[in-house]
Structure 1
Amino acid sequence: MRFQSTTLEQRKHHVRDIISSFDRTTLPLEFRGDIFARIDEEQAGRASSEWTRQGDLTGTAMQWGSHDPASWETLNRWQPASPRARLFAEKLRRLFEDQFQKYEDLGSIPGQRTAAGTRASLGQICDRFHKLAEATIIDLKFRTEGHAHTADVLLDVLARVCRNHDEVAEVRRSPRTPTAGASEAAETSLYHALIHEPAPGAPDFMLEALETINELSPRTLAARSMRQRLQTIDALLRVRGSPFSYQTRFSSIVNN
């Protein structure tokens, strides 16, 4: 991708993707929003000395890479497109894994050892799951390669959420209600909170991201290994008695 053939808006997204790939925990969408917002045509017309931010290497690299052809080419040599796609998927997997771990820890942290505390913490975890899925949709629309890496992560996460319905640990029940039945335990499962009975106004978890992959890279989910995993998830959703609208939308992804 050449400097002259791109717009400033394209370059700022591209440069942020490159530099954020060196950060193990921050997705491109969430990386240095303060600097990203400053990069515009007005800044491009300033003296180049103003693009340098003392004490801020990443901010300086983002600004110079967006405005200066030589800096643009240097950054692109640092981290080519294919490794970046793989690194994004690895980062996405780590971030989802962090949320799964937080879920596993529910009830073992002071302040979360009540039913109300557990529900509040579960709500925060689910909100993060949705935000990670939303960030993935934006990334898929930006990135032109590596969709299979991302799809691999998304299918693993969705399958794990579906199986979570059967894996609710005793630690996530309130110790104040030791005789709580299976229905209360189910209310604390990720499957229940993300798919079966999500918060009002919440989107269908993960479906838009998978639909985006089908739209932008139709062959990705058509691969035999991917289709087998999709069919496994479809079966899990049916066994769980998932909402009809969710099942219908997911089936259209499987049969696309």
Structure 2
Amino acid sequence: MSFISELLQTLFFTVRDVTPIIVIIFGFQFAVLRKPIAHPLRVAVGFVYVIVGLSLFLIGLEKALFPLGETMAMQLTAPDFLIDVKLSIGHSLEWFDYYWVYLFAFCIGFSTTIAEPSLLAVAIKANQVSAGSISVNGLRISVALGVAIGISLGSYRIVVGDPIHYYIIAGYILVVVQTFYAPKLIVPLAYDSGGVTTSTVTVPLVTALGLGLASTVPGRNPMIDGFGLIAFASLFPIISVMAYAQITHWLNQHANTVGSIEKENDNAL
């Protein structure tokens, strides 16, 4: 009965949150555009799916993802585990003794980003409008690598206690420099890729990881140090996507140059 009560309460809150979106969409459709909605039954069923899906997802976050992320962070940073890994009782723990945390953060960042439905939608649309020049899987993997590296670096920052703004400022300086040299086709998409990573799958686990890590590392404040991993998850995909485009562009230029040289040699013969 408690689960049913919680489900009904979550459904109520989801309907309350989605209602303004429905009002705005239908309001503009009828009052401004003055056009009927195509396939109204299909649209209504879609909204029902959205409400039910969001409600179940929110319950899943509370019951599974949040506790799992915090538990994993606490287990990986437990002194007994770290001392067993280090095999040297009596020595103070250093930042490199948390390498299992960095590996876990990398894997979580990569896997959650690959599973992110918003990224898949953006990648499919980018592939369509670019006539196939932007690969769906190539974009997804490059974004996932950026998130994985960013979350690993953010976990390192929590462990060592460095101020977050140093990392963010340095990262955006690199983004500005890359913007001037990256292919113009990919720059807007790279900036959008940083936003789609902060969505339904990535944010809960990354937030839980940051809070759990800051709660267990000695001398860290969960409020000050626990948050901020999402900023890394938004910044580093921009860097990785533009780097992916730059590398691909360079490889294509190199292949064209080699092909031209071979063609000239054949003509000379």
Structure with bigger helix share is: 2
Structure index of larger Rg: 2
TM normalised by structure 1 equals 0.30
TM normalised by structure 2 equals 0.29
